[in-house]
Amino acid sequence: MTLTTSHAAPAAHDTLPAARPAPGDRTATSRHFLMCPPVHFDVVYAINPWMDVTVPVDTGHAVVQWQALKAAYEDRGHTVDVISPVPGLPDMVYAANGGVVVGGKALAARFTYPERQPEGAAYEAWLRESGPARGMVSLGQAAERNEGEGDLLWDGEVMLAGTGFRTTRAAHAEVADRLGVEVLTLELVDPRFYHLDTALTVLSTASGSTVPDGGTRAEIAYFPQAFTPASRAVLRERYPDAIEADEADAAVLGLNAVSDGRHVFLTHRATGMHAALRERGFEPVGIDLSELLKGGGSVKCCTLELRPVPAMQDDPTPAKEARA
């Protein structure tokens, strides 16, 4: 497959806000991830357009590529927990789908397709057993059809929630209720981008509760054509300064990225995204997950972020409540 080379810098430079961080100004915060080694990875069924059961998979190569992603995280100070892969669950490597964890509350997934349904219980068991030592409590499996961080991306302030192919609107309501978060529903329309995390990535999370009060809005990148016109309008309004990725980057799953606020881990093939990220002061880290692309996933799919409750409650600083 050839890459489009038309990644000329956007002509909008002069109009960009002056306060954009310069390269080097971005600060990484250490993250806690859960990953699953692809020792049982294969393509033996097709539940998304990327999967072709006639194309052979090199499982050994998938493992080597996956190890390089894990090492890339660890080399930059992130913690990676590993869940035991279960034989007969070839897609379990896509840990993002296992659940969603915000504020120490872990809601495990309930998968759409029978082939993946046992993964929900496997991830729930891990979150229940390993959670308490890590500042998390398991809320069990979602009652509604919910594919975890595949469709639920936390921007620090709201949960961006995809629907259209997998996770349902009823699941969005359940997430709002059980995790106690605001949810923003976004509708996907292109089967290649069947999970929200294939079409949108959070680059930096919001801090503070409102922008006028001095907090900062999250920054995102997304592929507009993956969404309905109504959802595009919602995204443009909420994130006017977002990176809008092009077809060439989206088509190599360049939006399926993980950011720590400074480093952005994504496929090395998304060259336009790499340039756009650099221009905004992020440091792209190119990752080759070509084998796992055969299952329809890339960097983010292989990574579930755990957001435990901070261990220490002894910070004497009062919570920022500047209400007069």
Backbone angles phi, psi at 315, to 5 degrees: -75, 115
Which residue in the set 245, 285, 301, 306 belongs to the binding site for ligand ARG (CB under 6 A)? 301
Q: How far apart are CA 85 and CA 39, in angstroms?
A: 7
- Burial label for 101, CB within 10 Å (0-12, 13-18, 19+), is buried
Which residue in the set 32, 48, 134, 232 belongs to the binding site for ligand ARG (CB under 6 A)? 48
Which stretch of DSSP H or E encloses residue 80? Answer: strand 79-82
Active site residue 301: yes
Of the two residues 144 and 279, which places its CB atom closer to ligand ARG in the complex?
A: 144
User: Is 195 one of the binding residues for ligand ARG (CB under 6 A)?
Assistant: yes
Residues 50-89, one symbol each (x = binds ligand ARG by CB under 6 A, - = not), give -x--------------------------------------
Backbone angles phi, psi at 200, to 5 degrees: -150, 140
Q: How far apart are CA 223 and CA 119, in angstroms?
A: 28
User: Is 198 one of the binding residues for ligand ARG (CB under 6 A)?
Assistant: yes
Give, as ranges, the residues between 223 and 282 that touch ligand ARG (CB under 6 A): none
Of the two residues 172 and 195, which places its CB atom closer to ligand ARG in the complex?
A: 195
Residues 122-161, one symbol each (x = binds ligand ARG by CB under 6 A, - = not), give ----------------------------x-----------
Which stretch of DSSP H or E encloses residue 64? Answer: helix 59-75
CB of 195 to ligand ARG, least distance (A): 4
User: Is 197 one of the binding residues for ligand ARG (CB under 6 A)?
Assistant: yes
User: Is 308 one of the binding residues for ligand ARG (CB under 6 A)?
Assistant: no
**CA angle 130-134-137, nearest 5°?**
70
Q: Answer whether 182's CB lies under 8 Å from 204's CB.
A: no
Of the two residues 37 and 297, which places its CB atom closer to ligand ARG in the complex?
A: 297
HSE-CB at 17 with a 13 A cutoff on CA atoms is 7
Q: Answer whether 42's CB lies under 8 Å from 59's CB.
A: yes
Active site residue 13: no
Count of Cβ atoms closer than 10 Å to residue 322 Cβ: 8
User: Is 47 one of the binding residues for ligand ARG (CB under 6 A)?
Assistant: yes
Of the two residues 51 and 251, which places its CB atom closer to ligand ARG in the complex?
A: 51
Q: Answer whether 85's CB lies under 8 Å from 61's CB.
A: no
HSE-CB at 219 with a 13 A cutoff on CA atoms is 19
Among residues 32, 195, 263, 274, which one is catalytic? 195
Of the two residues 165 and 239, which places its CB atom closer to ligand ARG in the complex?
A: 165
User: Is 295 one of the binding residues for ligand ARG (CB under 6 A)?
Assistant: yes
Closest CA to 195 of 101, 109, 306: 109
User: Is 297 one of the binding residues for ligand ARG (CB under 6 A)?
Assistant: yes
Residues that bind ligand ARG (CB under 6 A): 47-48, 51, 91, 94, 96-97, 116, 150, 195, 197-198, 295-297, 301
Catalytic residues: 195, 301
